[in-house]
Chain A
């Protein structure tokens, strides 16, 4: 089966090696764009289909130049879960415990 990847992290696709990659500068969770934005969704899909047809060997990466319409600060917050994921919670608790221990020992 022939595959094509659409990713927000072409850096990783390039480093790890993927058959065909389309890179988009979109927030996580949104490889095809915003909800309801049929036009951008189709444009990204058509770019992926073109690469599928045109790539002659592994590792080709094409980056699209769509600009995410939200202000950066808002976009950075918006894709993240409302409460921290379990791993982030665990790391925050560990950091807090280490800090308390340090303070207690000094």
Chain B
């Protein structure tokens, strides 16, 4: 069954997105897996706009309210063993109720810890990453925050990354 990417969008927004012209970037990057999953270290990245409450600040929703064509391009770090009650969410484009109930719907750190215990994956990195997905302009992601995030992963010896745009 083919997935309908527009199923849950209001009609007018679906039509807008369907017809948005995009530039495909060639060549599409690809990094081969060079060892079995059971020896790979994983990091997880979401765009759900979640943050570690009490440790790092929320995304800048106030500026977005003043400047609706701006989205906070920074990212937040989420530790692998974060308790559910320490998850905060500052995404203005989704209802955050479900992710505040179960972080694993967007950043499945607890599920990956289980797969680590089972030996399915080699290990789960100590740190995972959250961006806020409303980005009218993506230059800062590409030029600054994406590379910064990748450098932090490399510093923790990450081999594989699960990306879950939300």
Listed in ascending order, the chain A residues whose CB lies under 8 Å from chain B are 1-12, 15-20, 23-36, 38, 41-42, 45, 48-49, 52-53, 55, 57-59, 63-65, 72, 75-76, 78-82, 85-87, 89-90
Measured between beta carbons, the chain B residues less than 8 angstroms from A30 are 98, 105-106, 166
> Cβ of B78 < 8 Å from any Cβ of A?
no
Q: Which residues on the B side are within 8 Å of A34 (C-beta)?
A: 98, 105
The answer to whether A5 touches B165 (Cβ under 8 A) is yes
Interface positions of B (Cβ within 8 A of A):
1-10, 18, 22, 24-33, 36-37, 40, 46, 48, 64-65, 68-69, 91-96, 98-99, 101-102, 104-106, 108, 111-112, 114-115, 120-121, 134, 136, 150, 153-154, 158-166
B100 nearest CB neighbor, chain A only: A35
Q: Is the CB of A2 within 8 A of B10?
A: no
Q: How far is the CB of B67 from chain A (nearest CB, A)?
A: 8
Q: Quick check: B160 and A2 within 8 Å, CB to CB?
A: yes
Query: Known: A81-B94, A85-B93. Is A6-B164 also a contact (CB below 8 A)?
Result: yes
- B98 and A29 within 8 A (CB): yes
- Residues from chain A with a CB closer than 8 A to the CB of B163 are 3-6
Assess whether A86 is in contact with B28, with CB atoms less than 8 Å apart: no
Cβ distance A87 to chain B, nearest Cβ, rounded Å? 4
Instruction: Name the one of B93, B98, B99, B158 contacting A81, with C-beta atoms under 8 angstroms.
Output: B93
Closest CB-CB distance, B118 to chain A, in whole Å? 10
**Whole-angstrom CA separation of A35 from B22 in the bound complex:** 33
B29 interface neighbour in A8, A10, A58, Cβ under 8 Å:
A58
Q: Roughly how many angstroms separate A14 CA and B7 CA in the complex, as a whole number?
A: 17
Known: A3-B160, A41-B105, A86-B92. 14 other contacts (CB 8 A): A2-B40, A3-B163, A8-B5, A11-B5, A12-B22, A28-B93, A29-B48, A32-B111, A48-B162, A49-B120, A58-B29, A65-B1, A81-B92, A85-B134
Decide if A53 touches B162 in the complex (CB within 8 Å): no
CB of A20, distance to nearest CB on chain B (Å): 8
Shortest Cβ distance from A30 into B: residue: B105
